[in-house]
Amino acid sequence: MTNDHVTTQASHARAAAHVLACPASLLLATALALSGCGGGGNGGDTAPASPPAPSTDPPAARTLARSAATAHWPGDVPAGQRRALVVVMTDPALDASPEPALATSLLVAGHVTLTLVGAGRPEAEVADAVDQLCAMPDVPVACETTALLGSGRAAGSIEALARRWAPGAGARIQVRALLTVDAGYVPPGMGMDSAWVRTGLADLTQHGVAMIQSRDDPAAADCGERACGVLPLVVAHGARSQPILSACPAAGPAGVHRPSAGLPDWNAWIVAALQQLLRPWQDRPDAAPGPADLPVNGCLTDLERLRPPGPSLPSIR
């Protein structure tokens, strides 16, 4: 490894730490009563700015017949420039998934997207689709800057996929960000006495994490072998003082995405989160100014504000 490469990796690490800076005082003294966090308000959410106007050039597309996946990328990518890859795994059971508006927003933001529809797609099938796309020399994709975006039931496997493509020297495919919608990711765990026990969390030294799920969704408070809601994960990361991007507005059942004063547009939040997590690894001299940074641990801020007062409930920070 050259000195220049070591210097570049170190600067990226410093940049990532700056993007997701977190107060050192974030300590969780007790577990929250997750099922009682209803109510309005989104104190931890900040409405991101609108994305830049779309290009007049039509997007390019490629169908990967072997994997039943479709890739799209902006039609105005300058020669020699490559764009970050966003692998989109959607859950057709949700009313809002797949969502054409989100696909358009991702293209406007300048990403290459690879869309796979259907919950429970085998890990090997997703990996094959990504391998196919990354082997195509005419697609302007930077597979060493990959984000995994999963919605609903399709979000469960993204942490395992991220470990498959953990960043490393010379690796062609490297996952830099995980983002889940209407669900959290399934963390590492094991079966014990007929129950599933979490043994770890996503490795934030390898990739950033963003999650958004309505706290009105009953699944938001559950965590098991095949699905895990945002609320237990937010609390677990908070207990370790780990900075993640999270939002848990009172937005109705799964897939409804009811707008609120604090979070009027879920798609804008998703795009802003991806931009923020991928920024340290993107080289976009022609890029328009992006949206304002989202606050870290926004969902945890909401949970803290909404928990009932009482002497028996110590502060969580």
Q: How far apart are CA 186 and CA 146, in angstroms?
A: 19
How far apart CA 257 and CA 270 sit, in angstroms, is 12
Instruction: Over range 60-80, report the average pLDDT.
Output: 89
Query: Which residues on neighbouring strands pair with residue 228, listed in sequence order?
Result: 223
d(CA 70, CA 235): 36
Residue 17 maps to a domain: yes
Tell me if 191 is assigned to some domain: yes
Report yes or no on 227 lying in a domain.
yes
Structural domains in the chain (count): 1
Could you tell me if residue 3 is inside a domain?
A: no
Would strands 141-151 and 83-90 be described as parallel, antiparallel, or unpaired?
parallel
Q: Are strands 175-181 and 141-151 parallel, antiparallel or unpaired?
A: parallel
Within a domain: 314: no
**pLDDT tens readout for residues 86-140:** 999 988 776 544 467 888 999 999 999 999 877 667 888 899 999 999 999 999 9
Distance from C-alpha of 127 to C-alpha of 134, rounded to nearest angstrom: 11
Mapping DSSP onto H, E and C, the string for 168-180 reads CCCCCCCEEEEEE
Can you give the residue range of the structural domain that contains 26? 8-46+54-306
Evaluate whether residue 1 is within a structural domain. no
> Measured between alpha carbons, how far is 199 from 114 in angstroms, rounded to an integer?
31
| Structure tokens given for 278 | 């991928």
Residue with tokens 């979490």: 198
Res 183: pLDDT: 94
315 within domain boundaries: no
- Counting residues of the chain whose pLDDT is more than 90, the rounded percentage is 47
Q: Is the pTM of this model over 0.85?
A: no
**Which of 10, 273, 296, 52 has the alpha carbon at shortest distance from 147?**
273
Indicate whether 64 belongs to any domain: yes
CATH code for position 84? 3.40.50.1820
C-alpha–C-alpha distance, residues 213 and 231, integer Å? 9
